[in-house]
Amino acid sequence: MAKLDQLPTEVLLVIIGLVQSNRDFLAFSRTSRSFHNITKNELPLRRKYRRIRIKENTDFDKAFNILISILRRPQLGDFVRHIEFDQAPRTYINYEINSIGLKELKDEDSERLRIAVQNAGFTGEYAENVINMALQPSFLLSEHSGTVHNQLRPAWVAQALTALLVSVSPYLETMTASQIMPNFTVYNYGGTTEDIIRFPLEKVLIETNAHPEGKPYLQNLRSVDILPHQGDFWEDERTYHEVDIFGMISLINQLPSMEQIGIDGAIEDENGLQDLVPSASNISRIRINHSNFETWFLSPLINSCKVLREFHYTIDGCGSPDGSYASFNPRTFLKAMLSHKATLEILHIDADSVCDFIDMGEYNDHWQVDRDEKEQAPSHIEPQGLWERTGSLRDFSALTQLNIGIGILLFLTLGTQGMETENPDCSPSFDEVVLADSLPDTLESLVIIGYEKGVRQDFDKIVEQFMADKDTKLPNLKHVSGVEEMIERAPKVDYPDEESEPWWEEEEWSEYEY
């Protein structure tokens, strides 16, 4: 059998073209001098086109040049793996054509652009508008001056460029995006949804999410991170920002490869979509960090997943603009999660500071978990039997990694029946909790957050017994932390200090990576 590097160059080029991972491609190029010589010209192209950012005006020209390069040489679009879009529109308003200072293209490039617009699904007058958006000069794009039409022009241009780049990048895997539709969405819009002239990227996502079959784009998109800010110059990065998270999820949740969504620094947008269809989403991994949502809001998100394998929810990093906070209800959370007890592998909950049913101090106090939250929540399309579900953390038969606050941990080990006492004046008891008997035997890693030895005697008793029992009762458990040395729980921030630093910073990209 011939060695790989002895194959004809034409065959090697076909094999190399099938290597999608840039890391694998680099490793492949290092296996021999002949492979390196064949691949050396492609390596810098892969790096250059790997990820594209569309945020500032300076990004628009770079994105446009990349688009034209891909239209001239379509195989360059195969290298695009990540797109970041950050131009949140503030309202819906018809696009206003501008013909001043448009970018000039050769006839063949103009025809390529027109075909790309059609291939992205735009037709008629809307297609002409998208072409006009793509050709806008960056010096006219200002979101802080002029008419509403001119203020929205950067959002239109950013969405047009992003939509077109998405349509010519068949192997796009990940996206980072600020809210793609306005904060006051169609769910509270005075007219009908047909009256709205949607933004280009929004339109592409809606149509592809509903009918992905036969489209060459968005078939490999597996992860979307939602940026919480709206791009307003008066934003305070130290506070949570309202995000229509359900509205965003409804744009992507049925794409064929969609797997994960993430969001940071967010609270619920009361003007946004208030529900998701149960068991209809392909999303199986959810990461909500540095955010604060009511548990009844998390419930339809959890129930929307056909299968849920990973769930993160942490507070911290931001304060509320008015000093309020959303409480975490372990009863509602557990009832929602029980629908995924056979598939959930990773659970990370750091919300003890906003769990109002337990005192983490020395008074050993905890209270009955509210039983009337069903009535407090807005109307959702609830899965059949949601409020009749029973179970505890022990029932999660696929769980391998658990990072959790000590308070919520004990409530989840009590289970639904332990939290639902018959006497409304009677608190659930932790006295009978045997932690090693209350965790699934599949567990491999446990991180206990917020436990401090000597603060609560009942906690000490439970943890000491657990450490004595774990090796015999939980043989798969290889890693335990947060017992000897306390892991600080995320604090509840009422009002951020003037000196408080934002919890996040934008990742720097080199010029070479555009």
**Cα angle value 9/15/20 (rounded, 5°):** 135
Question: Residue type at 240?
Answer: Y
Say whether pLDDT at 12 is over 70.
no
CA distance 266 to 421: 34
Contact 369, 330 (CB under 8 A): yes
Angle at 110 between CA 109 and CA 112, to 5 degrees: 60
pTM to 2 decimals?
A: 0.87
* Continuous segment of H or E residues that includes residue 313: strand 310-314
Q: Can you tell me the distance from the alpha carbon of 329 to that of 294, in angstroms, rounded to the nearest whole number?
A: 8
Q: At residue 362, does pLDDT exceed 50?
A: no
Structural tokens at position 360: 């983490």
Q: Supply 250's token pair.
A: 């409804």
Mapped onto helix, strand or coil, the DSSP state of residue 278 is coil
Pull the structure tokens for residue 252.
Answer: 């992507």
Q: What is the pLDDT of residue 114?
A: 98
DSSP 267: E
Q: Where residue 512 falls among pLDDT bands split at 50, 70, 90?
A: very low
Using CA atoms, how far apart are residues 452 and 449, in angstroms rounded to an integer?
A: 9
> DSSP letters along 421-471, please?
-SSTTPPP--TT--HHHHS-TT--EEEEES--TTT-HHHHHHHHHHHHHHH
158-181 pLDDT tens trace = 999 999 999 999 999 999 999 999
Binned at pLDDT 50, 70 and 90, residue 421 comes out as low
Please state the φ and ψ torsions of residue 6, each to the nearest 5 degrees: -95, -5
pLDDT higher for 84 or 9? 84
pLDDT of residue 481: 97
440/267: higher pLDDT: 440
Lookup result for tokens 């289970």: 415
Measured distance between the N- and C-terminal CA atoms of the chain, rounded to whole angstroms: 42
Q: Is the pLDDT of residue 279 over 80?
A: yes
Q: Which residues pair with 223 in a beta bridge?
A: 174, 260
d(CA 65, CA 43) in angstroms, rounded, equals: 19
- Element containing residue 82 per DSSP (H, E): strand 82-85
Q: Give 69-83 pLDDT, tens digit per residue.
A: 999 999 999 999 999
DSSP 338-407: GGGTTT--EEEEE-GGG-TTB--STT--B-PPPS-HHHHSPP--PPTTGGG----GGG-TT--EEEEEHH
